[in-house]
């Protein structure tokens, strides 16, 4: 390291980013309702309190339905868009792809508000499906980005070679294209699931009476006695999120390595 000042700066920056997350497990195992130092002893009772909370399970079930459906829908849509944008030239392509990717930078607040207004104006009741609608909008750009890189690293002559050797377009897709983009599909499913699971604003605006996990956690902070249990839940969520993202990146890299590219950069 040539400049020790820069090294210190980097360290401070990383601490600022991640130290608060480290507090989650610390207080999840702390034997006190008060979230403050000094620690008063080790306990796993907050985890069992969390485990026995039926409304948490209800919120978790809702979140699984929303995030699972979102991941599948966004990935299917992303598959079409990525295939079209990497294989075909069509008028207005840049504009269309730009609009698909726009929700990535659009404030979620705006997405949530405008969707809410539109849904109410259309006379639709808020439900888990309206959340799924909003989440698909937010997650599709992630799916498109991941799958585009999977399709781009796929040499077009691989498809032609399979056709040339007697396979039909359908069997070519099954024997050559699918195995080579499969890691990208898995990565896209995992990322979309994670993004949807963590999302709060759209979930809060569009869920109606059905609480989702993120909204449930926010609600629990109103009752100080429930906070340590939320810390326990947060600890579990952090662990699961890290696991899912690591798995997604693993699959994405494996996909690129398979098709002969180098796994530089990285989406996450």
Partner 1 sequence: MTDTPMIDLSDVQKYYGDYHALRGITATIRPGEFFSLLGPSGCGKTTLLRTIAGFEEISSGMIRIDGRDMAGVPANRRPTNMVFQSYAIFPHLSVAENVGFGLRRLGLDAAEKTRRIGTALEMVGLAGYGARAAHALSGGQRQRVALARALILKPKVLLLDEPLSALDKKMREQMQVELIKLQRQVGITFILVTHDQEEALVMSDRIAVMFEGEIAQLADPETLYRRPTSRRVAEFIGVMNFLPATIVSEGSGRAALEVQGLGRCEVDAPPGGVASDGGTTVGMRPETLTILYDGQAPTDRSADGTVDEVVYYGDMTYYDVRLDGTDRPVRISMRNVFGRPVLNIKARVRVGWSPGALVLFR
Q: Is 259 in the site for partner 1 (CB under 8 A)?
A: yes
CB of 266 to partner 1, least distance (A): 20
CB 98 within 8 A of CB 104: no
Contact indicator for 47, 66 with CB cutoff of 8 Å: no
Residue 83 Cα distances to 8, 134, 230, angstroms: 45, 23, 42
Q: Based on the shown chain and the rule CB under 8 A, indicate whether residue 163 belongs to the binding site for partner 1.
A: yes
Quick one: tokens of 88? 């075909």
- Number of residues this chain uses to bind partner 1 (CB under 8 A): 19
The residue written with tokens 């690293």 in the block is 153
Contacting range for partner 1; rule: CB under 8 A; set: 38-46, 56-64, 74-82, 158-166: 158-166
- What is the widest separation between alpha-carbon atoms in the chain? 72
**Can you say whether the dihedral through the CA atoms of 30, 31, 34, 37 is positive or negative?**
negative
Residue with Cβ nearer partner 1 (83 or 258): 258
Which residue among 155, 174, 240, 267 contacts partner 1 (CB under 8 A)?
155
Nearest approach in angstroms of CB 97 to partner 1 is 22
Single out the residue of 23, 158, 238, 244 in contact with partner 1 (rule: CB under 8 A). Answer: 158
258 binds partner 1 (CB under 8 A): yes
Instruction: Please pick, from the candidates 76, 96, 176, 238, the single residue that binds partner 1 as defined by CB under 8 A.
Output: 176
Binding string to partner 1 for residues 20 to 59, with x set by CB under 8 A, is what? ----------------------------------------
Whole-angstrom CA distances from 17 to 87, 107, 240 are 40, 21, 19
Give the residue, chosen from 167, 218, 219, 241, that forms a contact with partner 1 under the rule CB under 8 A.
167
**Nearer Cβ to partner 1 (175/242):** 175
Please report the DSSP string for 66-120 in residue order: HHHHHHHHHHHHHHHHHHHHHH---TTHHHHHHHHHGGGTS-HHHHHHHHHHHHH
Our CB check for partner 1 shows the closer of 162 and 217 to be 162
Binding site for partner 1 (CB under 8 A): 155, 157-158, 160-168, 176, 179-180, 257-260
């Amino acid at each position: 390291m040539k400049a020790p000042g820069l090294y210190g700066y980097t360290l401070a920056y990383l601490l600022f980013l991640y130290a608060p997350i480290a507090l989650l497990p610390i207080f999840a195992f702390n034997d006190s309702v008060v979230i403050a130092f000094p620690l008063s002893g080790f306990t796993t009772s907050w985890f069992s309190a969390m485990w026995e909370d039926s409304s948490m399970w209800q919120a978790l079930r809702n979140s699984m339905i929303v995030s699972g459906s979102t991941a599948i829908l966004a990935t299917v849509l992303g598959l079409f868009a990525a295939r079209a944008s990497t294989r075909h030239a069509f008028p207005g392509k840049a504009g269309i792809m730009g609009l698909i990717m726009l929700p990535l930078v659009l404030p979620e607040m705006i997405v949530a508000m405008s969707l809410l207004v539109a849904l109410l104006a259309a006379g639709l009741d808020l439900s888990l499906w309206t959340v799924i609608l909003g989440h698909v909008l937010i997650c599709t750009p992630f799916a498109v980005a991941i799958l585009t890189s999977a399709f781009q690293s796929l040499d077009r002559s691989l498809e032609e070679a399979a056709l040339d050797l007697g396979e039909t377009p359908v069997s070519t897709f099954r024997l050559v294209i699918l195995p080579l983009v499969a890691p990208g599909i898995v990565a896209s499913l995992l990322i979309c699931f994670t993004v949807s699971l963590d999302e709060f604003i759209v979930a809060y605006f569009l869920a109606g009476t059905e609480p989702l996990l993120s909204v449930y956690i926010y609600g629990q902070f109103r009752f100080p006695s429930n906070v340590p249990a939320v810390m326990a839940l947060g600890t579990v969520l952090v662990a699961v999120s890290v696991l899912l993202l690591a798995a997604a990146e693993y699959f994405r890299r494996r996909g690129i390595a398979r098709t002969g590219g180098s796994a530089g950069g990285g989406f996450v």
